[in-house]
A and B are shown apart, each in its own frame.
Chain A
Amino acid sequence: MSERTKVDVTLAVNGRPYRVRVEPRRTLADTLRDDCGLTGTHLGCEHGVCGACTILADGQPVRACLMFAVQCEGMDLRTVEDLADGDRLHPIQQAFWDNHGLQCGFCTPGFLMLAAGYLEQNPDPDEDELRAVLSSNLCRCTGYQNILKSVRQAAEVMRA
C-alpha cells in the first residue's frame, strides 16, 4: 500500500502518546499490537464475538478488533499492560491468579479488561449481573467458574 493512503494518528494508550502512521482501514487491535508493541491485547476472532481483544476506551470496555485506529484519536485507551502497578498486580489479576482463573491465558487479557471496566463503574454487582457481563467473552479452557470466582473476589477487594 502506498504511503499516500496512510494517515498520522496519535493514540493515548496507558497514559502515553503513540504517534503512528496507519492506513484508515487498520484496526485498533492491529495498531496496538504491531505499531505500539502492546501484544497483550489478543485477537481471537476479529469479528467481535470472543472478546479477547477487549480494552478500555474512555473507561468503557470495547472490542479493539471492531474499531479503527483512526477513530481513536483523543480517546483515553487502556490495555492489559496498564493494570499492574510495577510488580504489584491489580486486584483483578491477583484474583485470577489466586483462583486459577486462567489456563492457557489467551482470553485472559480480555476478561481482565472487561472486569476492570465493569467493576470501576459497578463496584457491587450481583451474581446475575456479573454472569451477564462475563457472558460477553469466550474462554475455551476454564468452564468459566473460576473466572466468575475471580471477578467476585476482585470486586470485594476493590470495594474494601
Chain B
Amino acid sequence: MSYVGSSVRRIEDRPLLTGKARFAADLCLPDQLHMRVVRSPVAHGRLLDIDTSEALAMDGVEAVWTREDIREVPPIDFRMPWVEGLERFRQPMLAGDHVRYVGEPVAIVLAEDPYLAEDAAELVFAGIDELDPVVDPVAAGPGAIETTVVEKAYGDLEEAFGDAPVVVEMELAVGRHSGVPMETRGALAHYDATRSVLEMFGAAKVPHHNRAAIASMLGLPLGAVVLREGHVGGGFGIRGELYPEDVLVCLAALRLGRPIRWVEDRREHMLAANHSRDQVHRIRAAVEPDGWIRGVIDEFWVDQGAYLRTHQVTVTELTTSMLPGPYAWPAYRSRGHVMLSNKTPCGTYRAPGRYESTFVRERLIDVIAHRIGLDSAEVRRRNLVLPERMPFKRGITALGTELTYDSGDYPGLLDRTLEYLDYELLTADLSRRRSDGESVGLGMGFFVEKSGLGPFDGVKVTVDEAGHVLVITGAASIGQGVETVLAQVCADTLGVGIESVRVRHGQTDDLAYGMGAFASRVTVMSGSATLIAARRVRRKALEVAAAVLEADPGDLTIDRGRVFVRGSAGGPAITLGEVAQRLRPGLTGGEPGLTAEGWFRADHMVYPYGVHAAVVRVDPDSGLVEVERLVVCYEVGKAVNPELVNGQIAGGAAQGIGGALLEDFAYDESGQPLAATFMDYLMPTIAEMPEVEVLLLEEAPSPLNPLGVKGAGEGGITAVGAAIANGVADALGCPEEVTRLPLGPERVRRIVRASLKGVSGVRPDPRFDPVS
C-alpha cells in the first residue's frame, strides 16, 4: 500500500488525546524557581529608578533583576536580516533608559512559587517619566520613526501610467492581529552538570537557530547549549521565535544554579508576544478599458510596534514581493515604510505579507471591475499569468531568492472554482435574494502563496536490529502533523509499515543542523530530505540482502520490512532488522549501521496558489457579517495526506475569518491596549464558522522537489480577508467603501450609512445618522 497520498490517521495523536502530552507548562524540575516578568504599564516614558526592595524582602523571593543586572547581555539579533544597519532598533532584554510599549519587560522576579512571584512582581516599582506615545505612525508623520524603506520594482511605470485610460486609486488597510496560539509561551531551563550543558525545554519552530543565538548571547560554546521541543500548542509564525523571556530563563539558570521555569499568562501573551499585519496601503493602477492592468504603484506603511524583533522587516519584504500575486502586470513598484510606534512589536503571522497584500490587490481588482463595468472574475482572468509562461520570472526577489513561480495553471483553477460555485446560478440567486431585501453577496480573492523556503534541511533514518525505524528531523512540530507526514514518506520509500516508524524532531543534540518549521516548508524540505535518506537506507539494505539471498539488488523489493526477490513474496527473505544485525561495526567493512542521512537543498521557493470565495450575509441594522459559505480551491502539487491538508486549510480559514471580522489589537490614544483578554480580543468559535468547502487540486506538481509538493500551511488563510471584504461590498452594493479590515459591526454600520447616503438603488433609512 502507498501511504503517500492517503489520509492515514496521525501517529502523534494518542498522548494528546489521553492527557499525557508534555507542553512547556507541564514540565517541572526539582528545586525550580519561577520567573515572573514585571512589565511596563505605560506606552512610552523615561525609565527612572526601579525600586525592588519590597519585592526582595519577601520570604521566598530569590532575586529581582533589572537592566543593571544584565548589562552584559546583548539584544536578540535578527534571525532574518534583510536590511543592513537596523541593529539600533532591536529590543533590549530588559528596558534600558526608556519603556516603549505597554508590556515591555522592565524587571524579572525569581521566587519559590509562581503565585508568590506574581505577588512580588506587583511590589516592584518602576519610576517612569511619561512621554507622548506614537499610536498611529502613519498619521504621526515626521513624529514617527521610519526605520527603513523596502522597495521592489520592475517594468516601465511611466509608459504604464503615461496615457492610461483609467487610473484607480485607493487607500486600504489591514488591522493589527496575530496568531494567538491556545498555548501561551513557556520555558524551563537548567544547567545539567552531568553533561555540562545548559538545557532549555519549551523551544519551538526554530530550535537550532535559537540554540546558536542563546549560546552566542551568553558566551557559551554551541555544544554547551541544548534546546528541546516538546508538544507545542500552535505556532502560526509567532511561537518559537526567540524572545527576551527565553534568554532570561537561561541566564538565571546559569547564574543561580537552579532550574528556572517561566509560564506566560494570557494577558502577558497579548501584550508581549508578536503582533502582526497592521498595514496601510495607497495603491494606484493604470487600467485599459478591457480590464488589462498596465501597471501598479503601491506605497504602504507597516506599524511595526516598538522594536524590530527576530523577523526584522520580513513582513514588509514579503508584502512588496508578493503583492502582484497571480497577475502579469508588466510594470510594478511597491515601497514599504517600516514605522515604529509605541505598541507591541510585530513579527510574522500565517501568510505574512500575503494576507495583507492579497486583501489590497483583490479589493483593487473588484473596484477596477466596478469602474470599467466588467465582472470581477473576468478582470481577474484577463490579468492572470498564463500557463505557457511557467516557470514565470517576476524579475524581483523574495526572501533573498529569485521570485519565480515554478508551475501552475491559474486560469484553469479559476475555471474550476467558478464551475464548482456554479457561478452564474449563484450570482443570479444572490441577486434575487438582494432584491428580496437581503444584504447578501459573493466575494473572491485569487492568491499566490509561497512555500518551501530553503536553503536546506536534513533527516537521518535509522533501522534498528528489531526492524524499528527512527526518523530524526531538523524540522520542528508545532501541531501540524509533521510526524505523520514524514513517517508516510519514510514508510513508502523504505517499504515498511507506518506503525514501525517513529519521528523525533526539535532536539538540537540529535542532528547538527535544522531549519525548523515555518514558511510552509516542512513537507517540501524535510519531506524531500526524508525521501532522500530513506532511499539511501533502502539501497544499503538491498546490497546487504542481495549478498545473503544471492540475488541481484535490482531484482529485490521490500515490503512491510521484508526483503525478497520481486514477484516471489513467499520465497527466501530477510528482514530489515536482520540486515541491520549484519551491519554491526566489525561485521561490515563499510559504514556500520542501517542508517543514512539525507539532505535536501533548495535555492528557490515553490508557489502554491488558489482562490477563496465567500458568500456573506450582512445585517445592516447590527452590522453583523455572517459567512454563509467559504470555498477554498487550492493547488498543492501533491497532498501527502489530504485530510491533514484539509485540516490546515480549514484552520487557516478560521483564522482568516478572525482577521477579517473579529480580531483587533486596538489601542487607545495613550497607547493602552484595549484587547488584552479573550473578552476583548475575539477569535472565531464554531458559531462563526461555516463548513469550509475545500477543493484540493493536485494538478501542477512542483518540478523543484522529488515529491512534487507545494506547502499547504498557509493557503487556507491568505485570501479570506479579501474574499469576505469583496463579499461585504457586493452585499451592501457599495463596491468602493469597504477599505479596511476587520469588518466589525461598527465599521460595517459606517459603510451602510455611507452607502445609504450616496448610492442609488438603496432607499435611505431614516434611522441611520448622516455620515460625518
- A112 on the B face (CB < 8 A): yes
B13, B233, B655: the one within 8 Å of A106 (CB) = B233
B583 part of interface (Cβ distance < 8 Å): no
Of the candidate stretches B15-23, B308-316, B397-405, the one touching chain A is: B15-23
Residues of chain A from 75 to 94 with CB closer than 8 A to chain B in the complex = 79-81, 83-84, 89, 93
Q: Interface code B471-492, partner A: CB below 8 Å = 1, 0 otherwise?
A: 0000000111100000000000
Stretch binding the partner chain, chosen from B436-444, B686-694, B758-766: B686-694
> Which one, A26, A42, A81, contacts B23 given CB within 8 A?
A42
> In the complex the two chains form, what is the Cα distance from A42 to B21 in whole Å?
10
Q: Are A97 and B683 in contact (CB under 8 A)?
A: no
Bound together, the chains give a CA A26 to CA B232 distance in angstroms of 26
Report A122-160 CB contacts with B as 1/0, cut-off 8 Å: 000000000110111111111111111000000000000
B677 close to chain A: CB less than 8 A = yes
A40 interface residue, CB < 8 Å from B?
yes
Query: In B457-507, which residues have CB < 8 Å from any A CB?
Result: 478-481
- Does B425 touch A at the CB level, under 8 Å? no
Q: List which A104-123 residues lie within 8 A (CB) of chain B.
A: 104-109, 112
By a CB distance below 8 angstroms, the chain B residues around A49 are: 677-679
Q: Are B182 and A140 in contact (CB under 8 A)?
A: yes
Residues of A within 8 A of B (CB): 1-2, 23, 25-26, 33-34, 38-47, 49-50, 52, 79-81, 83-84, 89, 93, 96-98, 100, 102-109, 112, 131-132, 134-148
Q: Nearest-CB distance from A61 to chain B (Å)?
A: 15
Instruction: Specify which chain B residues have a CB less than 8 angstroms from the CB of A40 in the assembled complex.
Output: 18-21
* Residue contact B650 to A143, C-beta cutoff 8 Å: yes
The one of B18, B653, B683 in contact with A80, judged by C-beta atoms closer than 8 angstroms, is B18
A39 to chain B, nearest CB (A): 4
Contact (Cβ within 8 A) B113 A80? no
Q: Are B692 and A143 in contact (CB under 8 A)?
A: yes
Interface of chain A: mostly helix, strand, loop or mixed: loop
Return 5 A-B CB contacts under 8 Å, by A number.
A96-B13, A97-B10, A105-B231, A140-B651, A144-B689
With A and B bound together, what is the CA distance between A105 and B686 in angstroms?
Answer: 17
* Residue on B nearest A110 in the bound complex, by CB: B182
Count A/B pairs, Cβ under 8 Å.
179
- A104/B17 contact (C-beta < 8 A), A44-B182, A47-B679 known: no
- CA gap between A80 and B18 in the complex, in Å: 6
| Interface size class, chain B | 35 or more
Instruction: Report how far A97 CA is from B686 CA in the complex, Å.
Output: 19
B643 at the interface (CB under 8 A from A): yes
Contact between chains at B115 and A26 (CB < 8 Å): yes
Q: A26: which B residues are within 8 A, CB to CB?
A: 115
Known contacts A26-B115, A52-B182; is A43 also within 8 Å of B677 by CB? no
User: Which residue from A38, A44, A96, A146 sits with its C-beta under 8 Å from B17?
Assistant: A96
Among B25, B183, B232, the one with the most A-chain Cβ atoms within 10 Å of its Cβ is B183
Interface residues of B in 1-42 (CB under 8 A from A): 7, 9-10, 13-14, 16-23, 25-26, 28
Contacts A25-B115, A105-B479 hold; do A138 and B19 have CB atoms under 8 A apart?
A: no
Complex-state Cα separation, A78 to B60, whole angstroms? 33
Complex-state Cα separation, A109 to B644, whole angstroms: 20
- Cβ-defined partner of A98 (8 Å) among B9, B23, B479: B9
Given contacts A100-B646, A144-B654, 14 further A-B contacts (CB under 8 A): A25-B115, A44-B233, A46-B265, A47-B266, A80-B18, A105-B13, A106-B183, A134-B686, A135-B686, A137-B685, A138-B678, A140-B651, A140-B654, A146-B650
Check A93/B18 contact, CB under 8 A, given A1-B113, A44-B184.
yes
Q: Are B479 and A89 in contact (CB under 8 A)?
A: no
Chain B residue numbers with a CB within 8 Å of A112 are 17
- Contact between chains at A138 and B9 (CB < 8 Å): no
A117 to chain B, nearest CB (A): 16
Contact A81 B18 (CB under 8 A): yes
Q: For residue B548, give the distance in angstroms from its CB to the closest CB of chain A.
A: 37
B286 at the interface (CB under 8 A from A): no
Contact B18 A104 (CB under 8 A): no
